[in-house]
Amino acid sequence: MLKPNGTLARLLLAALLVMCAAAPVHAEEATPPAATPAGDVSGDESLPASDEATIDDSADAAPGDTREPVPIDDIRVLVEVFHKIKKDYVEAIDDKTLIENAMRGMLAGLDPHSSYLDPEEYLDLQEGTSGEFGGLGIEVGMEDGFVKVIAPIDGTPAQEAGIQSGDVIVRLDDTPVKGMNLNDAVKKMRGKPGTDIRLTVVREGEEKPLVFTITRALVKVRSVRSRMLEPGYGYIRISQFQGPTGDDLRRHLRDLKNEAGDDGLRGLVLDLRNNPGGILGAAVSVADAFLESGLVVYTEGRIKDSQLEFTAKPPDLLRGAPLIVLVNEGSASASEIVAGALQDQKRALIMGRQTFGKGSVQTILPMNNRAALKLTTARYFTPAGRSIQAEGIVPDIVVDKLKLAARASGNSEVVKEANLERHLVNPEDAVEVDVEDDADAAEGDDDEQPLAERDYELYEALNMLKGMTLLQARSGNNTTATAP
């Protein structure tokens, strides 16, 4: 029989408080304020209720009290483990470290996305969702004890070094990743701007591990970028969902419309490839920009605060103009919310490859010690009731990951009617055109690499967008075909 000393008594009391707090509150108690959604909006499964109680305190409970019985025998085992570690471990270890490790273990055992954040890690998370932090610019998760890359963030050292979605990081400098928890791995990758770190990664299709030496930098994530692909056809890239992403998207849409002039936008490509997710509210705001009405996403969890619905409000900022969303295996969480909503509402055509499949919501729960819990509190569902957890969004049109190379010109030029001697002149042409000279001139003026070679998936999306625009116009339904 253990004789609890002061430390053990305090631990027992703390454990009892934890177990009581995990149970539903009394009906007459005040409902705690809703927690703020975390930077990630996906995960695995909600916190399970304990069904291993050995003491039932329901007889002393107030009417309507539905709290789970406290598993006092299990708490005694926890105290015994604590006592044996303190007494027999090869090195002395302080109470605070043991208790913090126990909290980390409780959360790490739930799913890959729940974790305990100490004050420093909590601050890092806030910096990440606000758009500025020091490090490599890479979104990662744990898989089989290793750190797996969900996606590198646009314009960051990780992307510029060649890190790709799906890479498995097995070593950080000389330290093996196996056995390291995710928070420790992230902490090691972050550091003072200007310092180097060496990443050893295993990549599918490569025979040997790849080694990257990357210089850390102050990462300022500009989550929204835009440009015109061709006159009337716009492109918006969202690299991460941050607090201001919805407002930034609307600003970029206005700029594209102004650039399109009187003809307006005829269509838009929304690029969510390698977007690891972000804030739930930002995802809802982006989807809402292209919908007149209807459900965007809903969440379901064990507590009332986790049962939410988000609906769209007018106007559709594109006024019905064709919309294509590009996704791939690095599109996760908030990206999947946007793609799923626009797909279910039949507002956009989804192109690319099957997405990551991270279909749950993490909530940040601040603690009194300035730390926080990042806890999976709900699953989210698309408007059609689909859960994409571990499944992902399946594109309407699959575009394989290909890279095109220009064919050597040589002597393989195609001969056309206009190249033949004594060919008949088209009566509608006022002047006969020298086709060969014009082709040479055009080739000389265009020094930029063709879009098909730079980004084959975007090239295919643009072609599809043009086809959708033509089909819409020829079907007679062109009253809302452009966004002025």
Final residue before a domain boundary, out of 198, 220, 242: 220
Backbone angles phi, psi at 400, to 5 degrees: -70, 155
Final residue before a domain boundary, out of 195, 220, 245: 220
Whether residue 201 is found in the same domain as residue 273: no
DSSP state of 25: P
Please tell me the distance from the alpha carbon of residue 154 to that of residue 357, in angstroms, as a whole number. Answer: 21
174 located within any domain: yes
Which residues 6+ apart lie within 8 Å of 202 measured at CB? 167, 168, 170, 209, 210
Query: H/E element holding 123?
Result: helix 119-130
pLDDT at 123: 85
User: Exposure of 89 by Cβ count < 10 A (0-12 exposed, 13-18 middle, 19+ buried)?
Assistant: exposed
Whether residue 327 is found in the same domain as residue 431: yes
Whether residue 427 is found in the same domain as residue 445: yes
Give the residue from 49, 65, 66, 69 showing the smallest Cα distance to 57: 69
Beta strand spans in 203-243 (E): 210-215, 217-220, 224-230, 233-238
For residue 165, the domain's CATH number is 2.30.42.10
Whether residue 65 is found in the same domain as residue 184: no
pLDDT at 308: 96
Q: Which domain holds residue 170?
A: 132-220
pLDDT at 118: 92
CB 371 within 8 A of CB 319: no
CB 169 within 8 A of CB 140: yes
Whether residue 155 is found in the same domain as residue 275: no
Tokens of 202: 């295993």
Alpha helix (H) residue ranges in 155-272 = 157-161, 182-189, 245-260
Catalytic residue ranges? 333, 344, 358
78 located within any domain: yes
Whether residue 190 is found in the same domain as residue 257: no
366 located within any domain: no
Domain count, the chain: 3
Tokens of 212: 């990257």
Please tell me the distance from the alpha carbon of residue 146 to that of residue 8, in angstroms, as a whole number. Answer: 35
Give the residue from 241, 307, 243, 311 showing the smallest Cα distance to 277: 241
In DSSP terms, 217 is beta-bridged to 135
3 located within any domain: no
CB 70 within 8 A of CB 53: yes
35 located within any domain: no
pLDDT at 220: 78
Whether residue 182 is found in the same domain as residue 209: yes
pLDDT tens across the length of the chain (484 residues): 444 455 554 555 555 555 544 443 333 333 333 333 333 443 332 222 222 222 233 334 444 455 677 788 888 898 899 999 999 999 999 999 999 999 999 999 999 899 999 998 898 788 766 666 678 998 888 888 889 998 888 889 999 999 998 899 999 999 999 988 887 898 899 888 999 999 999 999 999 999 999 999 988 778 999 999 999 999 999 999 999 999 999 999 999 999 999 888 999 999 999 899 999 999 999 999 999 999 999 999 999 989 999 999 999 999 999 999 999 999 999 999 999 999 999 999 999 999 999 999 999 999 999 999 999 999 999 999 999 999 999 999 999 988 787 766 555 567 888 888 888 888 876 554 444 444 343 344 445 678 998 899 999 999 999 999 999 888 875 444 566 6
307 located within any domain: yes
245 located within any domain: yes
How many beta carbons lie within 10 A of that of residue 473, not counting itself?
13
370 located within any domain: no
Whether residue 354 is found in the same domain as residue 208: no
Whether residue 99 is found in the same domain as residue 136: no
Whether residue 85 is found in the same domain as residue 143: no
Whether residue 423 is found in the same domain as residue 291: yes
Give the residue from 481, 451, 453 showing the smallest Cα distance to 469: 481
Final residue before a domain boundary, out of 220, 253, 283: 220
CB 55 within 8 A of CB 67: no
This prediction's pTM: 0.75
Whether residue 187 is found in the same domain as residue 239: no
